[in-house]
Structure 1
Amino acid sequence: MRSHLRRLPALVRRRLSPSAPVPRPSFLAQREALRRTRALGHELGVRDPVFEVNSKLESRAWADRLGVRQAELLAHVNDVDQVPWSRLPGRFVVKPVHGAGSRGVHLLERAGDGLRDVRRDRPTSVEEVVADLRRSAAEGVVSAEVLVEELVADPQRPGAGPVDWKCSTFFGVVGVVEAKVAGRDGEPRWRLFDADWRDLGRGWRDEQPLAAGLRPPAHAAAVVDLARRVSACVPRPFVRIDLYDGEDGPVFGEITPEPGGPTGFRADVDEHLGRLWEEAEARLMVRGAAAGLLSPADAPLPESALLLERRPVATTTGALAR
């Protein structure tokens, strides 16, 4: 079995070479197909179990089980009014338990009697932070429940917020690393690296503002190694692993099964990641076959369209017939 797995990348490349009469591998196409598949799963009453470790609390408990370093938890409260502001250290992060796109996340530092917004490098206050979180919770984009964590000190950015290293991973393989960092205006700046930390330049289809001069992390090899290790624990062809680089090495942030951010990669990057996706699918087939999940049965299986109370096959067939 292991010898076949070692030959897998070469087999995939040969069978899906540019000369073959099939479309090229595409990360974007695979990602959009996965989103549609998950939506159909919701119709069937099932939620992808990967989301069991997607919320910030669940991912923290999971990271503890994996034995990986993460930011120290300073407080967990049901409402932002319950944050013990006077007992917090000099630098900390306030974030909703549920949310996306950095909405409601505040990187803070004590400054005299007030606070400094580390991301925007400007003064702020407890009242301003509370008001923003309350407004976002009222709009339904974040939860009222919040966590307070230590603010990771990035050796590459003393005094500023840490770089968010977003690793696109494929069941134990790192494809690319997107570096996200806040500019002085608070808006994100980006940079794209491959798994060997070669700068890929403008690697997206859309015009993402680039983080000028951003270098690989101080613990570059350890960042990739941690992303590979976490990814190898997630039986999915793709998941993004978000990490920080602290003074003592990489720090786990969270996993993101369906990331937002830049909408698509440049064609050559998209094809490279598409190939990695297909190779990961093949390794997952090995796992499914070994568990007996793919073996023909002696009677119709309960998940088949024949036994499920829905009619996708009839609907699709009718559409094709027209």
Structure 2
Amino acid sequence: MYRDHCGREPSILSPRRFTEKLQWRKLFDLDPHFAVFCDKYESHRYVAERLGPGMQAEVYFVGDDPEAVPLESLPRPFVLKSTHACEHVAVVKSGDVIDGLALRAKMRDWLAVNHGSKMMEPGYENVRRRLIVESFLGDPDGEPFQERKIFCFDGKARFIESVAVSGPQRLRQTQFHDVDWTRLYWKTLREPFPGVMLRPSRLDDMIATAERLAAGFDFLRIDLYDGGDRFWVGEVTPYSWSGLVNFTPDEADYVLGAAWHLRAKLFRAALAILFRRRRILPPKPAGVPAAAAPAAASTAVVAN
């Protein structure tokens, strides 16, 4: 996969690039927390435990039955997603007419996907497949708040990718900065935003929040939604871009890679190879023995 996307062979046991270290993680890093971060519902609990309430979108619904999602009665605008994969997102705004049949067919397609097997990301592989509906993080006109993706290494924020959405075609462009808000002229999947992005008014608070969530991990990306005088946590991401991107300039891949210090990488790789164990299981329900854990409920409505 790496060769097909990046056009070169990766160095797996002696990785130097950021993208190579992500392949190392997918193969050898079996931290059980990744199953929490890769579950968009369970990650809500993690964030609330570290930050307290009120720092995330409100959850209106979570369940595994598309027919049970109350599309017409949900507060608008809202965002419908799967809990177990990337890029499964549908935004319903205040004036939208919902095609329930088409949207529920899309939900069934989402539930059939095992993102972990598809992308070789073990944190996703055994996550319970569900649907989640959250409040929309944006302004009253339906414009989403700006995304800030903060790259944290050993619990310290080092780099920030901001995403700008503009124009009638909702073009997504990005800019990279360091934590002092010096622009880095890097490009990955999207074209760089050509204008000037002003330093966020609450950048220091956003960095402190990201570092609280990333404390104890050698690398995590913390995604935030910046509403100006307030911000929210979106996702905690262990597999940024799945490591299947090319940077321009190529040096940026090495700069990010140099910030990431893999701990005992050869020893941990040897353990994973020798014991042929490449599996991350989701956490057990609190206080319930494994043998007695109940089956997933078909629906659940959560009021925050």
Instruction: Please state which band the TM-score falls in when normalised by the shorter chain.
Output: 0.5 to 0.7
Task: Give the structure 2 partner of residue 209 of structure 1.
Answer: 191
C-alpha distance in 2 between matches for 1:87 and 1:188: 30
Task: Give the structure 2 partner of residue 110 of structure 1.
Answer: 94
Cα shift readout 1:249-299 (whole Å, capped 9, x = no counterpart): 221111111111743363554444334324xx5xx79xxxxxxxxxxxxxx
Matched, 1:188 2:169: no
Cα shift readout 1:95-152 (whole Å, capped 9, x = no counterpart): 101111x2x21122120xx34xxxxxxxx64444333333343455598621111111
Shift of residue 192, structure 1, vs aligned partner: 1.3
SS of 1:61's equivalent? helix
- In structure 1, runs of 5+ residues without a counterpart are 1-25, 42-46, 116-123, 286-300, 311-322
C-alpha distance in 2 between matches for 1:181 and 1:195: 18
> How high is the TM-score relative to the length of structure 2?
0.66
Shift of residue 225, structure 1, vs aligned partner: 1.8
Matched, 1:93 2:79: yes
What percent identity do the matched residue pairs reach?
26
C-alpha root-mean-square deviation of aligned residues, in Å?
3.5
29 and 56 in structure 1: CA distance in 2 versus 1, 3 angstrom threshold? same
SS of 1:86's equivalent? coil
Task: Give the structure 2 partner of residue 137 of structure 1.
Answer: 111
Say which of 159, 181, 190 aligns to 1:176.
159
Task: Give the structure 1 partner of residue 134 of structure 2.
Answer: 149
Cα shift readout 1:49-82 (whole Å, capped 9, x = no counterpart): 2313211122111111112411111111212321
Task: Give the structure 1 partner of residue 49 of structure 2.
Answer: 65
C-alpha distance in 2 between matches for 1:230 and 1:174: 11
Aligned residues: 242
Higher relative contact order (CA 8 A, sep 6+): 2
C-alpha distance in 2 between matches for 1:255 and 1:207: 19
Task: Give the structure 2 partner of residue 288 of structure 1.
Answer: none
Say which of 13, 27, 31 aligns to 1:39.
27
Question: Are the counterparts in 1 of residues 64 and 131 from structure 2 also a CA contact under 8 Å?
Answer: yes
Cα shift readout 1:235-254 (whole Å, capped 9, x = no counterpart): 33211111112365221111
Question: Are the counterparts in 1 of residues 201 and 229 from structure 2 also a CA contact under 8 Å?
Answer: no
C-alpha distance in 2 between matches for 1:274 and 1:110: 43
SS of 1:227's equivalent? helix
Stretch moving more, 242-251 or 172-181: 242-251
Task: Give the structure 2 partner of residue 76 of structure 1.
Answer: 62
C-alpha distance in 2 between matches for 1:265 and 1:231: 26
Instruction: Tell me the amino acid that sits aligned with residue 79 of structure 1.
Output: D
140 and 309 in structure 1: CA distance in 2 versus 1, 3 angstrom threshold? closer
SS of 2:240's equivalent? coil
Correspondences of 1:265-304 after superposition (within 5 Å): 266-278=249-261
C-alpha distance in 2 between matches for 1:241 and 1:138: 27
Task: Give the structure 2 partner of residue 119 of structure 1.
Answer: none
199 and 63 in structure 1: CA distance in 2 versus 1, 3 angstrom threshold? same
Stretch moving more, 210-219 or 173-182: 210-219
> How high is the TM-score relative to the length of structure 1?
0.63
Question: Are the counterparts in 2 of residues 78 and 144 from structure 1 also a CA contact under 8 Å?
Answer: yes
C-alpha distance in 1 between matches for 2:63 and 2:137: 21
C-alpha distance in 1 between matches for 2:66 and 2:60: 13
Say which of 236, 246, 251 aligns to 2:227.
246
Say which of 131, 135, 142 aligns to 1:159.
142
